[in-house]
A and B are shown apart, each in its own frame.
Chain A
């Protein structure tokens, strides 16, 4: 599980992808990567792009990505941009 916190913007997006990629290294095909969003206070398009890049990397290893405990601000943006369809919440 990947726990995110704080404000996920341009400054944090790359780091988020790197941390997720670390976890994917030991993941096996068919497993799940869960991203805990409970402590995320803010996300913007750069942060969302980071999540989608991570999803793409996971896809290549047949690992599926799920979000957990998504705060309101984030959930609103996920729905507005349709990302909730490709990054489902547990």
Chain B
């Protein structure tokens, strides 16, 4: 009969927890449950310890009744040690008939005069999330009925804690979301901004974010990024990366590639196992040219009077992936009335489809309209009513139209030569291949003949920097309507030797190839830079030019 009345009282207790569960004060709830449990089971102490994960897993006292000092002293019990630690390690109830320093890790229990104890593990699914235990000062042993009742109470305590954790996570997530995605984009004369954020279909917090800010120098930074994973942990990581990038931008200024390198270093050291893609675009007033660097992030789309194009950004590795990666800088011209769209991969990725198809679909969906209109169009055409597997973030930056300028001038239609990309590289042999890959990507659509010559000559110039200068060097790609120019600058002032080596000579052939294949080449020293700059130019064939020029091809023949 005793058992039945105890069960009834337990049922009543559980009903109380159901009502109280709608509120967030789980600590008060736990204390109340433990107090009632003491009365129902006729015990003197009751306590809940929760698992805290770290380098070592510990149980930490979270709520107690008749044993309040456990919580006040922040008692920590290692998994596997003592009474509670054994319950957590074995994942099963333990009845203790003798309480002393050999059976419990926590001296408070024996000091309190507790004689008998019983405890059960608290589960989240099949994982142990904590321990619930009760104790008696009297020497009256616990039996299997007590264990069963304690298990029923334990299930309800677990549910209460988990409900609270989910509520906390979603409240914190909503707060982080507001904090991470600025509703007020900066007010900058001559520019318009628009942004969107759409969570994934399951409404979990994602790892996408965007940011836009102006530095004291007047320089504008716009960024978009994606932390791998979902949930509160990703949102917290977004907050850290965002803050790190802002700091490095403020201190280091104006070099997006350098800020990526520093952020990568920070992630590798302090945030193990984190992968982040990030794209930074930086411009000074009047914001006609953006310097863009990418860590594994898809390229922006630029819409102008000439149509929509994907910026030819060569992405470096994602942040947190490799030691000392090298990031290049690509320059993108933004004419008045043109808009640049930054986005995350959730917009273009579809399961079972190559990324290029998604990028092409995006380019086709973008028209030369205002930033606000562009965001609306892109979300409607690419997301529409389809469920998205990943979250999507968009940030559009547009230059306000200038009525005094009749038509925009794009980078490759003018006759003047313009810097389109640059990259700093260390004096290592693998930098030579990086320089070739960078130059080919930056040059864009060229004939096979031009591409082959470009690859060879960049290889030769980069090799000279690595072998002779042994300093960091910079490769710059410039382009006009009818030529591509490549510059390699290093810290060495030594002369450049052009030899004409015989067939079996094992050196001296590099500059000879430059002489043979380049349309023009030269060496420059300037007061602005410490070392020298070796450059060459290649004529673009008429088919490679936007204006269809007629100059005959020049340079050596590379193919057999």
Residues of A within 8 A of B (CB): 7, 9-11, 42, 44-46, 48-49, 52-53, 55-56, 72-73, 75-77, 79-83, 85-86
Contact = CB atoms under 8 A, between A and B. Distances in A.
Nearest to B458: A44
A81 B432 contact: no
A56 B503 CA distance: 12
Nearest to B503: A82
Given A76-B559, A82-B502, A9 B513 contact: no
A-B pairs with lowest CB-CB distance, top 9: A45-B509, A82-B503, A11-B429, A44-B459, A75-B560, A45-B510, A10-B429, A76-B558, A72-B560
Given A9-B459, A11-B430, A73-B558, A55 B504 contact: yes
Nearest to A79: B560
Nearest to B455: A42
A76 B560 contact: yes
Given A44-B460, A73-B452, A80-B516, 11 more contacts: A9-B436, A10-B432, A10-B463, A10-B466, A44-B459, A46-B459, A49-B506, A49-B509, A76-B558, A77-B456, A77-B513
A48 B467 contact: no
B130 to A, nearest CB: 55
Interface in B519-560: 556-560
Given A9-B459, A10-B463, A80-B516, A85 B503 contact: yes
Interface in B449-465: 452, 455-456, 459-460, 463
B252 interface: no
A21 to B, nearest CB: 14
B197 interface: no
Nearest to B511: A45
A20 B516 CA distance: 30
Contact of A9 (B433, B502, B506): B433
B513 A46 contact: no
Interface size class of B (residues with CB under 8 A): 20 to 34
Given A9-B463, A45-B460, A76 B557 contact: yes
A79 to B, nearest CB: 7
Contacts of B460: 44-45
Interface in B422-457: 429-430, 432-433, 436, 452, 455-456
B513 A45 contact: yes
Given A9-B459, A10-B463, A52 B504 contact: yes
Nearest to A54: B506
A34 to B, nearest CB: 19
Nearest to A48: B509
25 contacts: A7-B433, A9-B436, A10-B467, A11-B429, A11-B432, A42-B456, A44-B460, A44-B510, A44-B513, A45-B460, A45-B463, A45-B510, A45-B512, A46-B459, A49-B507, A52-B505, A73-B559, A76-B558, A76-B560, A77-B558, A79-B560, A80-B516, A80-B556, A81-B512, A81-B513
B80 interface: no
Given A9-B432, A10-B467, A86 B560 contact: no
Contacts of A9: 429, 432-433, 436, 459, 463
B524 to A, nearest CB: 22
A71 to B, nearest CB: 9
A40 B508 CA distance: 22
A72 B456 CA distance: 13
Contacts of A82: 502-503
Contacts of A80: 513, 516, 556
B501 interface: yes
